[in-house]
Every structure is written in structure tokens, then in C-alpha cells.
Structure 1
């Protein structure tokens, strides 16, 4: 189980102490998509382009693999190869944090994968608790605890995605985990709406840092309640960067206005996870970032109206979304 990269081990925190790689997970932190060929093979060269594109947008962190990466459709070898590509590009950088996700259902496998990617150079772990066949809350906490202990002091982002997993999480539980495992540094909140939990986490003593997910549907509200960043897909990263820039530099009205323009699109696409994956793939294809919008089956097939609306989207935001070579 080896990921081949030239990365340095991530067990040495960037800056030491609390000033480690988790401090780079601020603003927009995209989830990397995996391009496929028209026949469904992984487009390795295309993934290199995706990584280069994201690094070029000025963000300081990115995550792979996530739901937006179709991680559940990748083989073990594909997942390792693509993770290695990301880590080879971020090795040695003190201005960018590579977040590698661990979604294994079995605690033994999750611990092994987490250790493997930390040894390969991951700056942070993104941990999704087990959810298949509805494990007990106690089992989920034990799973989270085992991974936190296995990778300490590497920082961990705990992903809370109740719509996709059916799991439940509260601030008191998080507070207990943080007290026992201080390398739990962030919670990615994808409840709908996320704001209340984000505010409850921010009010803890000490406060727990939160990211907003779910394609940024509630981004301004999450920002007002204390979220330090958002973690959407990567096909139109520039729009999210501009929204966050406006919000964080005193132009709240401008950030709200740009988000209001984006909201009709992302709120529709987020009605189904496979729908937004297909839409983002189509946007990346139309921008020239990837060579094919193919999604591995089972997948959402965009109909004529959905494709038309993507063209409307690209026209409306053309000033922020240049064609990519």
C-alpha cells in the first residue's frame, strides 16, 4: 500500500504548534474532480491539469478525493495514483495544504489508509465517519477516535454530511473529541442549513473551526456565523474565490450579490449529488479544463434543459470564468 510521491512526511506540522497546516484551510478549499475519458478510463493527464488549475487560482488548500471526485467509483490503484499526483505537486510547499480524504467504512482500513497518506505527504486528513448499514453512534465515535489517534499530530477535518450519510453530530460531541484529540482542528459542516452548528462550534471554549460545504449554497450565512472557509467542487473556483474575497474584505453586500446570482444554479444542481457532479464536469469540459465530461455509471445524464442552463451560466459568469487551455 504505497503512494509514490516525493513529498515529505506530513507529521511535521507547518510552522509548529497550533500554527500548522490547518491554518491554510481558509477561504475557498476546492474538492478536486477526476476526469475520465469517453470510455470511462481515468484521464491521468487531465487530472494533472485539474491540479494545476486549482493551484493557479490562488487558493491555499484543496481536498481529494471527495464526493465531487466520484471517490466511490475509483479503484484502490486509481485512488492511490491520483493522490500521489496531488501530493507530488504540493510537496515542500509551505503556502498550500493538501487534504486527503479517508472514507473507509472499516476502522482497520481507515486507520491504515490515513497512516499511508500521512506518510506520503498529506498535510491534513479529511475523515468521513462510517455510515453504511447505519452503524451506532458509539461505533462512529470509536472509528473517529481511532483515526485521530493513529495520525496525531497531523491535523484532521471531520466531515459532517448528514444528507449523504444519514449520520447526526452535535457540538457537544465535537467538543469531547477535540478535548481528547487536539489534532481534530476543523469540522466540515454540510447539514442544511449549516449555520446553527457552525455558530455552536464557534461558541465552544475553545472554539472549533468550521468549513461550509454543500456547494456553498449557504455560504454568506455560514461566513457570518463564523465559518473560516468553504469547500465546493472545483469547476468554477474563481466565482467562490471572488465571493469570499468580497465577504472577507468588507464588501458584504457585493459578496451577497454575487452569491445571489450563483444561487439559482447551485441550489438546483445540489438537489442530487450525481447531478452537481455531472454539471461540474460539463462546466469543466466547456471551459477546456478536461477533455470529456464523462461520469462513471451510475450517473446523472444531463437533459437538454440542464445543458442549456449550463450555457446560460457560462455566459452570465464569463467575466470570472475564462476559457482554460
Structure 2
């Protein structure tokens, strides 16, 4: 049974909401590089209106590494103020802090502020020893139990490596580790190994959903892409789970050529997604804080081609117009 919210509606347990398409929210900036709070509110409102059951902030797609502590806290609390009115949507707050002490403090503060679940990025700066990384993860898991935690596994970006056995052992010792976000070129095998292991650990695919087709065929719990074209991922997910699998794979196949290029660099996919969001009216500008990856004329033209090809899915934001 779920718990009732303040208006008496039945709230879905947060673990049940951690499935399907879980977009990672962007951080909108003004053209001067300041936070654009109005755009943030509009973007969040639009994404919540696509039917997702969970959203995450702040991740790589949010440019978390370019935000001050106070900015992260401000935007997180702003998000939680919106999601607490939506018992059908879980707010997943990411904890990317490198120091274990700070990560524990940030995680417990997020839970106290109303986060439904956490996303934990293991420490990676200066390549900490594996036993220290595991200590970091277990310290956060223990501090926030029983709040659900998703462990982000991104070896290309962090260098951290976890075997299925290690992840299964963490799950056995800490039941609030409910899923792993796998951001590798070939996530399917690991996802399947986790799902069929003794603890049945669920998996999400990240990496902009480039390998979503393989993940769907291996029974993943969901996908965590960016938020600029959430509706396309939602359509793929819906088609697959209602039995229209050929149509789902065909639609994903149309995405692959774009994603394969954009995912060659993290800063590239960030710049592309923010341009898409700006062109759709979800945010006012596509500004990324420096250092960034500027799109050249050809790359910007590909974004326009993408918007044309998927126009049937990508309606303008409420109270927003496509930028010119």
C-alpha cells in the first residue's frame, strides 16, 4: 500500500515509481550564465507533464560540476517543492560529492528535504582505491536507509569498476540499494546478470539510451536520458511494454544515428540537448557554463534535422514558443 499525500490521494511507493523513463533535468542559465529559475520551473513542469514517474537532478546532464553548493541546493529544493505536489512522481536527488563526509551530509539533507530516492555517483577524482570507493558507497547507503538508492556505474567517466558479484553483495548488505544506472557501451549483459542474480538488483541504462534496445530485450527497469526529448523515450517505452516491440525498436533505430554522434563527448550531448530544449521553448537559452563544447554549423544543422524528424512527438512547452 502507498501512503496518502496531504490531499488524501494515494501516493505510489517510491520504489514502484523508479521505473520507465527517468529524465535527468537540465540547469537553465541566462545568456549571462546566471541561473534561470523561470526556465527551470517551466522545464520541470513540462517534463512532469509527459507522464514520467520519476526525474533526477543534478546529474552530468545538469552540469552539476559547474554549480555552486548554494545553486545546487536552491534548484533541488525548487524541484522538491514541485514534486511533493505530485504523489505519482518520484524526485531522485543525485549525490555526486567526492568526500565521503560531504556525500553523507548531502544525502541525509536531501532525504530530510523530501527526496523520494537518491542517485549516488561514486568518488573518482584522483582514482581512489577500490576499498575506499566501496566504503563511500556503503556509508551513504547506511546513512539514508531505508530511502531507495540508485548507484551510478559510469566507468568511462569515473574509472570506478564494479563486478556483478560486488554489486550483489552491496545489495544483500544494504537492501535500500534498489538499482544500478549502467552507463557503459554494452549495458545489457550487466543488467541481465544483476537481474538474474540472487538479489535481483534492477538496472537502468544511461548513456542517453543509446543501448536502450538491448536493455529492453534484457528486461531493464528503465532508462535515464536527458530531458530535452523525453516524449520520444516515453513513446519507445510505451510501445515496447504494450507489445508493439517492432515499432519500439524501429523508433529507437531512428534515434541511434543522432545519439551515436552526440554521445562521443559529454559536453557535446549537454550542448545539443540544451539547444533542443531552447528551440522547443522549454528553456529560454541554450547557454552552457564554460568550459563547454560549442556546436559548429554542421552540428547545429543536425539538431534542426532532428527537430523536424521528430516534430510529431515534440510539441512546444506550455506558455513557451520555439526559439528562432
> TM-score, length-normalised on structure 2?
0.94
Q: Secondary structure at the match of 2:190?
A: helix
1:224 aligns with 2:217: yes
Distance 1:159 1:40 in 2: 28
- Identify which of 228, 236, 252 aligns with 2:245: 252
1:245-286 CA distances to partner (integer Å, 9 max, x unpaired)? 111111110011000111111111000000000000000111
| Equivalent pair of 2:39/2:283 in contact (CA under 8 Å) | yes
1:64 aligns with 2:61: no
Structure 2 gap ranges (5+): none
Deviates most, 308-317 or 91-100: 91-100
Matched residue, 1:3: none
Change (3 A) 1:92 1:282: closer
How far is the alpha carbon of 1:93 from its aligned partner? 3.3
Map 1:232-311 to 2 at 5 A: 232-311=225-304
How far is the alpha carbon of 1:169 from its aligned partner? 1.0
How far is the alpha carbon of 1:92 from its aligned partner? 4.9
Matched residue, 1:128: 121
Distance 1:301 1:189 in 2: 27
Map 1:1-325 to 2 at 5 A: 20-324=13-317, 325=320
| Equivalent pair of 2:172/2:199 in contact (CA under 8 Å) | no
Distance 1:253 1:234 in 2: 24
Structure 1 gap ranges (5+): 1-7, 9-13
How far is the alpha carbon of 1:307 from its aligned partner? 0.4
1:189-232 CA distances to partner (integer Å, 9 max, x unpaired)? 11111011001001111311111100000001011112110000
How far is the alpha carbon of 1:152 from its aligned partner? 0.4
How far is the alpha carbon of 1:236 from its aligned partner? 0.3
Distance 2:307 2:85 in 1: 36
How far is the alpha carbon of 1:99 from its aligned partner? 0.1
Distance 1:288 1:237 in 2: 14
Q: Secondary structure at the match of 2:108?
A: helix
Distance 1:157 1:184 in 2: 6
